[in-house]
Amino acid sequence: MENSYLPENFERVLLSEEQIAEIVSTLAERINHDFQGRELLVVGILKGSFMFMSDLVKALKITCHIDFMSVSSYGNATQSSGRVNIVKDLSESVSGKDVLVIEDIIDSGITLDFIIRHILNKGAESVSLCTLLNKPHRRKKDVPVKYWGREIEDEFVVGYGMDYAEKFRNLPFIGILKEN
């Protein structure tokens, strides 16, 4: 991808469309293997995970149901506030089910720790985490990330569903914003 394609507020492309597709395929193979013969409830965390989740579930060869949660901890900031609020809770019962939570990026772990506890309290049999991007060195809460696509440094990324102040979600790649 040529730099002329990038808006001038990007430093660089972190992951191209092709690289993302390869990561999604690899993760789907692992999930297909691990959940073979079982039904899975796939829960996307809105809004950031919608593109990743869509591509991932298309590659799954197992029976799965789909649901969504929307939580807020960022607002228009680039770092989590530390407070997690449920904006939209699950529609489907998780009681006795294996749940796979799909997230775009795991940073502090605060939001995912809250979500895991919330789903387990609702009676899920198991909860596994799948994220496209992982920032383990930023963890404030230790969350068990079973499936992750790429480990990244402490850079603020947008594109492929991820945003800054609701901008850039529609980009087909993941880029790093320039610092202002």
Domains of the chain by range and CATH? 3-177 (3.40.50.2020)
Q: For position 38, what pLDDT does the model report?
A: 94
Which listed residue (55, 98, 104, 107) is catalytic? 107
Angstrom distances, CA of residue 91 to CA of 32, 41, 61: 24, 11, 23
Q: CB–CB of 111/102 below 8 Å?
A: no
Determine the Cα–Cα distance for residues 148 and 58; give it in Å rounded to an integer. 17
- What is the tens place of the pLDDT at every residue in 128-159? 999 999 999 888 999 999 999 999 998 889 99
Handedness of CA 136, 137, 138, 139 (dihedral sign): positive
| Global confidence as pTM | 0.89
Question: What was the pLDDT predicted at 148?
Answer: 97
- Give catalytic status of residue 107 as yes or no: yes
Half-sphere exposure of 52 (CA within 13 A, CB side): 36
Band of residue 8 on the pLDDT scale cut at 50, 70, 90 = confident
User: What is the tally of helices (H) and strands (E) in the chain?
Assistant: 3, 9
pLDDT tens across 65-77, in order? 999 999 987 555 5
